[in-house]
Homo-oligomer: A and B are copies of this chain.
Amino acid sequence: MTFKLLIVFALIVAPTLIAPLTAQNAERDADAAYIRKIYNQSLTDGRCYPWLEYLSLQIGHRLSGSTGAEKAVIWTEAMLDTLGLDSVWLQPVMVPRWVRGEAEQVRVAGAANKADNFSLHALALGGSVSTPAKGLQAEVVEVNSWEALDQLGERNLRGKIVFYNRPMDPTRIRTFEAYGGAVDQRVYGASRAAKYGAVGVLVRSMGLRLDDYPHTGTLRYDSAFTLIPAAAISTNDAERLSALLEKGKPVQIFMKMNCQTLPDVQSYNVIGEIRGWEKPGDIILVGGHLDSWDVGHGAHDDGAGCVQSMDVLRNLRRLGYQPRHTIRCVLFMNEENGLRGGTEYAKEAKRKNEFHLCAIESDAGGFTPRGFSFDGDDAVFGRFFEKVETYEPLLEPYGLSITRGGSGADIGPLKGMKGLLSGYSPDSQRYFDVHHTAADVFDTVNKRELELGAASMTALVYLLDKYGL
C-alpha cells in the first residue's frame, strides 16, 4: 500500500470498521471459551470410550440382520434413554441379511511343487453367492487394470478365476483417495469378470499394509451376467500368488464358500434428539452407522462414529446447553451392504418436510481429529461453505481444518434437501490397516483420540447451532 492510500484508509475506511470488529472479537472470545469447555467436558467426563468398549466386547460385530445388530439397536436405544433427551425412538427399516456360513477355503491346488499348494487368508465379499457345495477349482488369471481384463476377454477368461491385484496407491497422502482408486475392483470385479465367462473372483484386499488380514466389503452384481462367487485375499497372499504366477506356469485355485442371502429382516435406525427452543423444525444431525461387517468388533468402522455421535448429545446435556435448533443423533442401520437406513431416513425427512441445516457423519475411524469436510447441493453450497469457513480460527487450536470434500454414505441421500453435509475427518493413516477386517477391534482405538473426535463434533454443532446458515 502506498503512503497516500494508507492515509485514505486510516482516515476514511478504518473508523467505520473498528466498532463492529470489537463486538465481533468479544463474541469470538466467548465462542473460544465455550469450545474450551466442550473439550474439557469430553476429555474428563466423556462416555464414548466405555460405550465403545461395551459395543465391541459385549456385543461385537453386527452385520445387518444379525443378532449382534439386534442387540446393538436395543442397547444404544437404552443408552440414549439415560441421557435425558427430549425424544428417543426407533425408525423401522427392512434390511438385507447375508450370512457368511462356514469359514472360506481358498488354496492353490494341483501345483507340481507341493510347497506351492498353500492356503490363502480369504473372506467372501459381502453379498457374494456361494461356490458349488463341493467348491470349485479353476486356473487363475491375474489382472491389474480394466483394460487388461477387456483385452484378455472371453477367449482367455472363460472358466477361469480372475485375480484382481491392483494395489492401493501408497503415495496418496490421504488414504481414502488410495482406497477410492482401488475399490472398484472389489465392487464391480465379479460381474465384469462374469461377463467374459469367469467362474470366480479373488480380489487383493483394500489395505496399504502387507499382512495376513483379508478385508471384506460389499460387491455389486450386474444382473445381466451370471452371479459368480468372489472373495478378498490378504495382501501378503496376493503378493505370494502373484509371485507364483510370475513363474509363468498355470496355477489352479480351489475355492469353497457357502455364504447366502436370506430374506430381508426388520431392523431400525436408532434416533435421539434435544429439541431446539427457537427453531425445533430445523435439525442439526450427528451420526454414524450401527451395523458393521461380520468380523472383528467394527470398533473403528463404525462403532467409533456411533459412540461419538451419542456423546455429542451427552456433552451438550452435561454442559446445560440449550440449542436453538434441534440436535439429533442418528445411528444408521445397514450402511455396509445396502444403505437402507440412510435411504429410509431421508425418505421420511422429505415426507415430514424436515430441514436439515447440517448433517455430520463420523465414519472414518476413531483417530486423532484433523477437521471436517463439507459438501452440499450446488444451489446453496457456496454460500453455506463461506460461512462455515469462518469457524476455522476457532477450531484450528484443536488441530482442525475446514475443507471441501465428501461427507458420509448415510447422510448422502439428504443432499438434495438444501442443507449442508459434513464428514468428520480424523487422521487416515491407520484406517485401512483394520477396515473390514478381524483386526478392527476395540484395542486399536485410543481413548483420547476418540474423545477428541467427540469434542470436535460437539464444537462444530455448537457453532452451527449458534450461527445458523
Contact = CB atoms under 8 A, between A and B. Distances in A.
Interface in A375-429: 397-399, 427, 429
Nearest to A428: B368
Given A368-B429, A429-B446, A399 B173 contact: yes
A44 interface: yes
B8 A173 contact: no
A448 interface: yes
Nearest to A210: B447
Contacts of A39: 171, 173
A160 interface: no
A464 interface: no
Contact of A398 (B13, B173, B427, B448): B173
A446 B427 contact: no
Nearest to A170: B43
Interface string A452-464: 1000000000000
Contacts of A353: none
Nearest to A397: B173
A398 B449 CA distance: 20
Copies of this protein, total: 2
Nearest to A4: B8
A178 to B, nearest CB: 10
A40 interface: yes
A430 interface: yes
Contact of A43 (B13, B171, B448): B171
Contacts of A209: 447-448
Contacts of A368: 368, 427, 429
A5 interface: yes
Contacts of A427: 368, 427
B170 A44 contact: yes
Nearest to A451: B170
A208 interface: yes
Interface in A1-58: 2, 5, 8-9, 12-13, 39-40, 43-44
Interface string A329-369: 00000000000000000000000000000000000000010
A12 to B, nearest CB: 8
A53 to B, nearest CB: 13
Interface centre among A5, A44, A370, A448 (most CB of B within 10 A): A448
A406 to B, nearest CB: 18
A448 B170 contact: yes
Contact of A446 (B9, B40, B433, B447): B433
Contacts of A12: 2
10 contacts: A40-B171, A43-B170, A44-B170, A170-B448, A173-B397, A173-B398, A370-B399, A429-B452, A430-B449, A433-B446
